[in-house]
């Protein structure tokens, strides 16, 4: 079964991999979470790690962002080994965790200035104002984050991750818990990142999110990558296309977005 | 040590101090309980307590200062716990900063917050009739002991802050510390206590700290108490620092 599902070798290895993971294993006491994970991510692409809850997606991200140590296997990010060269890896990456890692008591602008200072950049105020503009948070910038909506928090969270232009960004379930409008805002931000040459590894449990954003998709299941390929390659794993005529009913999402869409579009532009 | 240690600690200290400035209730609640104890003991129980001192508030203040610190440091555990829960801790850990500066910023914040609370409590004591002829060197010595004691207890507070499972668990550890002064020379002379209690009271850190501060305020020779007090402070500080650092390393690896 697995052999039949494998992807042609031409696309299996990625040249010039920015993230390169081989045989990654990790256990928590009795539980074997990762049982040999292999991933290669090319520069400037969006790579989606897909899996159900508890599949080990967050564990992979934590190992790659030097927060956890793997039991076995190697992982290199931007050419640096995550264990031996953790400091260099931290210079190259930015992590947006599952829960918006923002300081609620500070204002949005102060959050950005804080991160810019901790990245030892000059002109933290200018950087903050620039990002507030890019993420349509200028007006909210002087308000405490505690007053922000979920989508605004996530946008601020991602804006904080962009400070210092790290070449690699990890987004762990960036849209979990967001309403549809906020999801689209986040998707837009992620797409713009990759267009600017940033490599993005994102985890998600939403299939449509991977479909929308990712150049390559890997499915993590029971601690292993069971498939890895482009969307088209993954689609070819299933029997050829059947043509059926179906009455096209608008989905609830279509209805929702059409009704509220006019407003959203105005705000975004 | 990382070349950014001082700068990163300063930036993170600025962040925590902003938290305090925006929720000054942490300083007010820290100061309220010791002030309530002081009022209660001076105006309710004080008349019945024989201390051999001319004013009871003068006798009592050093112990009240110790209680102030013991209740104030639980906020370090509280803030550290919230950082860990909220995810901002992980953000800091995945950034190219000096890793120990995250802890040091919390410890220095505790020092600043406690010093403010102590000033408030001393202010109330002055209104209640506390007077001292202690000069600059006497006050500096008192401040030195209080700073060392705050640092020692704060490093203890770091440990539950890093390991607690719930917010209540993170701050509950300080309750025994708050009651330690009651079994010491803080409220009544130890001579009035029965044998075993007296033995405990005379050999626990609070008594030597309280006696040393009391002698400094009264401009009496401090004798060996100050050295015992300093020994306790430095000993607890060193031990708590080592344990906290080990806990931190385990937590972030």
pLDDT tens for A204-234 read 888 888 888 899 999 888 888 888 888 888 8
- The Cα of B36 is separated from the nearest Cα of chain A by a number of Å equal to 29
The verdict on a CB contact (< 8 Å) between A118 and B11 is yes
Asked if residue A48 lies in contact with residue A203, where contact means CB atoms within 8 angstroms, the answer is yes
User: Cα(B89)–Cα(A192) distance, rounded to whole angstroms?
Assistant: 27
What pLDDT sits at residue A15? 53
Cross-chain CB nearest to B96 (options A87, A99, A103): A87
pLDDT tens sequence across A41-87: 988 899 999 888 878 888 999 999 988 888 888 999 998 998 888 88
pLDDT of A125 reads: 93
Determine the residue among A103, A147, A157 to mutate to test chain B binding: the one whose Cβ has the most chain B Cβ atoms within 10 Å. Answer: A103
**Mean pLDDT for chain B?**
88
Q: What's the pLDDT score for residue B236?
A: 93
Q: What is the pLDDT at residue A268?
A: 47
**Do strands A168-172 and A93-96 pair parallel, antiparallel, or not at all (unpaired)?**
parallel
pLDDT at A245: 77
Q: Nearest-CA distance from B107 to chain A in Å?
A: 18
For residue B81, count other CB atoms closer than 10 A to its CB: 23
pLDDT per residue over A121-163, tens digit each?
Answer: 999 999 999 999 888 889 999 999 999 988 888 889 988 988 9
Rounded Cα–Cα distance for residues A59 and A70 (Å): 9
Q: Do A87 and B12 touch (CB under 8 A)?
A: no
A91: chain B residues, CB-CB within 8 Å: 96
pTM: 0.83
**Cβ distance of A91 and B96 shorter than 8 Å:** yes
Please report which residue ranges of chain A form alpha helices under DSSP H: 2-5, 9-12, 57-64, 86-92, 108-118, 124-134, 150-162, 180-195, 207-213, 231-236, 252-268
Cβ contact (<8 Å) for A69 and B94?
Answer: no
B91, B93, B99, B253: best to mutate for the A interface, most A CBs within 10 A: B91
CB nearest to A101's CB, from B12, B90, B96: B90
Helices (H), chain B: 5-22, 25-40, 56-72, 74-86, 88-93, 101-127, 136-163, 167-172, 174-179, 195-202, 205-217, 225-252
Note whether A42 and B226 are within 8 A (CB). no
The reply to whether A189 touches chain B by the CB within 8 Å rule is no
B94/A94 CB distance under 8 A: yes
- Report pLDDT for A241: 67
User: Mean pLDDT, chain A, as a whole number?
Assistant: 83
User: Which residues of chain B make contact with A87, given a CB cutoff of 8 A?
Assistant: 96
Residue B69 reports pLDDT greater than 80: yes
Which one of A97, A100, A106 has the shortest CB-CB distance to B15? A106
pLDDT of residue B108: 95
Whole-number Å distance between alpha carbons of B39 and A219: 66
A105 touches chain B (CB under 8 A): yes
pLDDT at A9 over 50: no
Q: Which residues of B touch A (CB under 8 A)?
A: 4, 7-8, 11-12, 15, 18-19, 22-23, 86-88, 90-97, 252-253
Under an 8 A CB cutoff, do B90 and A90 touch?
no
pLDDT digits (tens, 9 = 90+) for A164-199: 889 999 998 888 877 887 788 888 888 888 888 899
**Which pLDDT does position B225 carry in this prediction?**
85
What pLDDT does residue B218 have? 85
Identify the H or E element spanning A51.
none
What distance, in Å, lies between the first and last C-alpha atoms of chain A? Answer: 48
């Amino acid at each position: 079964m697995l052999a039949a599902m494998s992807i042609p070798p031409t696309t299996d290895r990625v040249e010039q991999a920015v993230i390169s993971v081989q045989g990654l294993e990790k256990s928590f006491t009795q539980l074997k979470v990762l049982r040999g994970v292999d991933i290669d991510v090319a520069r400037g692409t969006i790579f989606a790690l897909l899996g159900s809850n508890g599949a080990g997606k967050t564990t992979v991200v934590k190992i790659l962002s030097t927060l956890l140590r793997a039991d076995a296997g190697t992982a290199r990010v931007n050419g640096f080994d995550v264990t031996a060269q953790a400091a260099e890896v931290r210079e190259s990456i930015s992590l947006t965790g599952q829960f918006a890692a923002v300081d609620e008591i500070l204002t949005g602008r102060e959050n950005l200035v804080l991160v810019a200072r901790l990245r030892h950049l000059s002109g933290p105020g200018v950087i903050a104002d620039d990002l507030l503009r890019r993420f349509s948070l200028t007006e909210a910038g002087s308000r405490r984050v505690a007053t922000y909506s979920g989508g605004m928090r996530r946008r601020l969270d991602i804006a904080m991750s962009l400070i210092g232009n790290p070449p690699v960004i990890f987004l762990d379930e960036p849209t979990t818990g967001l309403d549809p409008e906020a999801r689209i805002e986040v998707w837009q931000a992620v797409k713009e990142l990759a267009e600017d040459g940033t490599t993005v590894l994102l985890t998600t449990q939403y299939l449509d999110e991977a479909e929308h954003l990712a150049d390559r998709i890997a499915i993590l299941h029971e601690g292993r990558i069971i498939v890895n390929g482009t969307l088209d390659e993954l689609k070819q794993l299933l029997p050829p296309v059947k043509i059926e005529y179906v009455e096209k009913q608008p989905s609830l999402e279509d209805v929702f977005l059409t009704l509220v869409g006019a407003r959203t579009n105005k705000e975004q532009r | 040590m990382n070349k950014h240690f001082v700068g990163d600690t300063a930036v993170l200290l600025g962040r925590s101090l902003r938290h305090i400035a925006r929720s000054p209730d942490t300083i007010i609640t820290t100061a309220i309980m010791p002030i309530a104890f002081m009022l209660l003991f001076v105006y309710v129980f004080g008349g019945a307590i024989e201390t051999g001192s001319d004013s009871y508030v003068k006798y009592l203040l050093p112990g009240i200062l110790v209680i102030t610190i013991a209740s104030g440091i639980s906020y370090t555990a509280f803030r550290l716990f919230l950082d860990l829960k909220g995810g901002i801790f992980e953000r800091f850990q995945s950034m190219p900063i000096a890793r120990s500066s995250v802890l040091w910023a919390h410890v220095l914040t505790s020092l600043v917050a406690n010093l403010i609370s102590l000033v408030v409590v001393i202010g109330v004591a002055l209104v209640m009739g506390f007077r001292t002829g202690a000069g600059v060197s006497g006050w500096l010595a008192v401040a030195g002991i209080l700073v060392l004691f705050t640092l020692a207890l704060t490093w203890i507070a770091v440990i539950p802050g890093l390991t607690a499972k719930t917010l209540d668990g993170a701050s509950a550890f300080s309750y025994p510390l708050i009651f330690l002064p009651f079994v010491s020379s803080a409220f009544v002379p130890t001579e009035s206590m029965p044998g075993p209690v007296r033995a405990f009271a005379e050999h626990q850190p609070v008594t030597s700290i309280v006696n040393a501060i009391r002698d400094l305020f009264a401009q009496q020779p401090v004798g060996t108490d100050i050295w015992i007090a300093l020994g306790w402070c430095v000993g607890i500080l060193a031990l708590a620092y080592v344990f906290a650092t080990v806990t931190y390393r385990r937590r972030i690896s």
